[in-house]
Each structure stands twice: as C-alpha cells, then as structure tokens.
Amino acid sequence: MIDKQQAAKNKVTIVNLLKQTEREGIEGLIHWLDTDGFFESPASTQFHGNYDGGLAYHSLNVYEEFNHLNERYNLGLEQDTITLVGLLHDACKVGLYEPNILKSGNRSESKPYKTNGEFPFGHGELSVYYVQQHIQLTPEEALLIRWHMEKYDATYDFVNGQGDRIRNAVPSLCALSCADKLASAYIDDINPSKVSQQQQQTQA
C-alpha cells in the first residue's frame, strides 16, 4: 500500500492541478474522482501501481513525464491539455478493481486485485466517456485519451492506415504513450511502502 502521507500529498497535487484548468464542470469531476475511489484505487491488478493509491500516483507520474516531453520536444501543448490528459487518461479504472481474495480466504500476493464488474466500453473510450460526463474535452484531448494505448489497443490498426491517421491527427500521441510507458516501467513499481520499509530497516 502507498504511504498515507504520500497518497494525501498526491491527492492535493492532483486536485490543485485540475482546479487550475478552470474548465467548466471541473469541481463535479473532482467530486466524482473523490467519491468513486480514484485516489484509493490501484493502477492495475498485478502490474504497475498494483497497490492502494497506485492509480493517482501513476496518473501524476504520467502527467509529469508528459509535461517534460512537451517541453523537450517543443510539442506546443496547452498546459490544460497536459493536465487533463495526463491525469485522466486512465479514468476508466475508477471503481474497476477490488481486492483479490483467494478461496483460502487470504489475499493473493501475486495478483492483489481483480477486475470488478464489466462495462465493456473499451479502455480509452471509457475514460473519455467518464470525463465527458463532467467537462468538455477538446477534440485533441479526446483523441489523446482515446488512443493513449496506441498499438496496444486492438482497434488501433485494424483498418489499414488507421494508425497513420490517428498519429497525423494528434502528433503528440507518441509523447503521451511514451509518458505512460515510462511511468509504468520506471516509476510506479517503486512501491513507496517497500521503499519506506527498506529505509526503516537501513536506519534501524
């Protein structure tokens, strides 16, 4: 589980960033995130960020990486777009996971969460759907969130040339997809609770 203080800090940072967009309806969106478990949710069942608070941590990491890549490659994205897309690309995971309790009654260590329920709307599609219930996304933001999995989305290239059309429509998609991968591979899995345990052992 993520350290409680860190989780609280992540929440404050995310809420402040969202409020700074001043997008109409943002307060309602923040309320939804808060009441439906965004800040407590893991980011996956058994992979990156698979601990309480992992989704918020991952989303913040993607936002930071995306922000960095926007500057590094002069992508010219609006700050609001980086904030909304980075923080909300995985909004589809709100309420998606529950603890994976084995028949023995113990929690699975290898896969601590399982998917809870089914709303077969897609991954990026569902994020856009949830977010649009509260705020209006620009076409660029909607496309970025919809296709953030790029070729890992089964429908990305199912029509010949679909990938090119999407990349041409939103050239910054590669940066978002890379930001997502970088956060998942190099940041999210540094489980803060493990790190703080190690620090305590080192300090003891």
Binding site for Fe ion (CB under 5 A): 90, 180
- The CB-of-164 to Fe ion minimum distance in angstroms stands at 22
- Torsional class of 76: left (φ above 0), alpha (ψ -120 to 50), beta (otherwise): left
Nearest to 123 by CA among 96, 99, 98: 96
d(CA 153, CA 146): 10
User: Which residues have a Cβ under 8 Å from the Cβ of 24 and sit 6 or more positions away?
Assistant: 135, 136
Pick 47 or 196: Cβ nearer Fe ion: 47
Asked if 126 and 119 count as a contact pair (C-beta separation under 8 A), the reply is yes
Pick between residue 141 and residue 180 the one whose CB is nearest to Fe ion: 180
Least Å distance, CB 43 to Fe ion, is: 7
Q: Residue 5 Cβ, how far from Fe ion at the closest point, in Å?
A: 24
- Closer CB to Fe ion, residue 134 or residue 188? 188
CA–CA distance, 7 with 53 (Å, rounded to integer): 6
CB of residue 49 to Fe ion, shortest distance in Å:
9
CA torsion sign for 39, 44, 45, 51 is negative
Min CB(200)–Fe ion separation in Å: 30
The CB density around residue 96, as the number of other CB atoms within 10 Å, is 21
C-beta closer to Fe ion: residue 27 or 157: 157
For Fe ion, which is the closer residue by CB, 40 or 180? 180
